[in-house]
Structure 1
Amino acid sequence: MMRLSLLVAFALAVLTLAGCASPKADFYTLSPEAPRESARPATPIVVLIGSVNVPELVDRPQIVVRAGANQVTMNEFARWADSLKSQIPRVLAADVAQELNSPRVSAYPMAGDMTAVWRVQIDVQRFDATLGDAVTVEVLWSVSPPGKRAPLSGRSTVREPCAGAGYDAVVAAYSRAFATVSGDISASIRSAAPL
């Protein structure tokens, strides 16, 4: 009888621990556009994507989504794999490199003649998502050409629909939105650069 009681107590303890197990967290990362063949010839232009400012509300590991006009939710189990301040410049650099067909675009300082570098500063003003609907990014950007020329600046506001209801669709929509921002920055550089 004592042995049976111990066995039942052990089984109940195992079931209790199994019921308390945490759900598995999913980690997400922004991604650049898929590589494609460029019709443009390769250019020697050098671009450095500088540090990126993001709103404090979304500067956290949890993915933040809008739940109403004045409410957001943070899912403890849907997280960014890396900070947005490091993901956004990396993705922008890859997309700008593809847009300009230049192998010399980076989010990190490069060796070489730093006087010939186009420097890009990014200030993300809005980074909103609604599950199953769309994401919206609003970005102020500034491009400092080499030499003493005046900086170029712009504002890109992009609303990108989600192709599904989950967090993976939100992250994919954010990636597409930043590809559009990269296109705006690249067009500005292309219009001012002696390519």
Structure 2
Amino acid sequence: MKRALTLLVAPLVLSGCFGGSAVKESYFNLSAAPGNAPSPATSSGPAIHVGVATVPEAVDRNAMVIRTGPNRVEIDDANRWVEPLKAAIPRVLAEDLRAELGTSRVTSGRFGPYAPDFAVTVDVQRFDSSLDAGATLEAMWTVTPTGANASAGARKSGRTAVTEPLPSRDAAGIAAAHSRALARMAAEIAATIRR
């Protein structure tokens, strides 16, 4: 009788261990600010290229990293970024810069069909996500005149440090708050390019 019961229970235990409770993954992306959707193409503005961003190793992963205390984080495997942050951040900055500067000639990643007038590099030093404190972005960035513009002025550097509250205490709120933080950084970069 014991043996029959053991044979009956074993498959149930194994099914629970090997797939009965798989974690459903949700994917999120960074996006341009709602008011910064790309406008119709205008080719009269400056050509800008936003290079690949450097990001802290602690957050350089697909799973969201959630800060739960001063010295503690949790890796949230159920909520993931749909693309690497070092590619997503330049893409979103390029979209925000298009709207800020009124030009369609802004690229990220690989260079576009034209030589840029300005090259933008970004070194993200802090990319914190907290359900309580919000989304914190600290980054150093540089705007370098290039090509025919190279003699127009020296390279300019700046630092952006912002914390955005979450619109909702979940992964979607984290993605939205970081997107707003990137829009604020794009506005600072655009002001430097205008000068």
Category of TM-score, reference length = shorter chain: 0.7 to 0.9
Instruction: Report the secondary structure of 1:53's partner residue.
Output: coil
| SS class of match (2:176) | helix
Query: Would the aligned equivalents of 1:132 and 1:164 in 2 still touch at CA under 8 Å?
Result: no
Give me the whole-angstrom Cα distance separating, in 1, the residues matched to 2:95 and 2:168: 25
Name the aligned partner's letter for residue 90 of structure 1. Answer: R
Distance verdict in 2 for CA 1:123–1:75, change over 3 Å? same
- The residue type paired with residue 66 of structure 1 is R
SS in 1 for 2:52: strand
Q: TM-score, normalised by structure 2?
A: 0.84
- Distance in 2, matches of 1:134 and 1:37, equals 24
Partner of 1:100: 101
Give identity over the alignment, percent: 34
Any idea what the Cα deviations from partners look like across 1:151-187, whole Å, max 9, x if unmatched? 0110010110011111110111000000000000001
The one-character-per-residue Cα deviations of 1:119-164 (angstroms, maximum 9, x if unpaired) are: 0000001111111431110010000012132101100101100111
Match of 2:126 in 1: 126
Kindly report which structure 2 residues correspond to 1:27-176, keeping only aligned pairs within 5 A, or say none. Answer: 27-35=27-35, 42=42, 43-107=44-108, 108-112=110-114, 114=115, 116-145=116-145, 146-148=149-151, 149-176=153-180
Work out whether residues 132 and 163 of structure 1, in 8 Å CA contact, stay in contact via their aligned partners in 2.
no
Structure 1 unpaired stretches of 5+ = none
CA RMSD of aligned residues (A): 2.5
- Normalised to the residue count of structure 1, the TM-score between the two structures is 0.84
- Deviation string, structure 1 residues 19-76 (Cα, Å, up to 9, x no partner): 73312011111011124699xxx54210000121000000011100111111111111
Moved over 3 A (4+): 12-16, 35-38
1:17 corresponds to which residue? 15
Q: Deviations over 1:96-120 (max 9, x none)?
A: 01100101001030123x2x52100
**Secondary structure of 1:51's aligned partner:** coil
Structure 2: runs of 5+ lacking an equivalent: none
The one-letter code of the counterpart of 1:83 is P
Identify which range, 13-22 or 127-136, moves more after superposition. Answer: 13-22
Judge conservation of contact 1:133–1:165 (CA < 8 Å) in 2: no
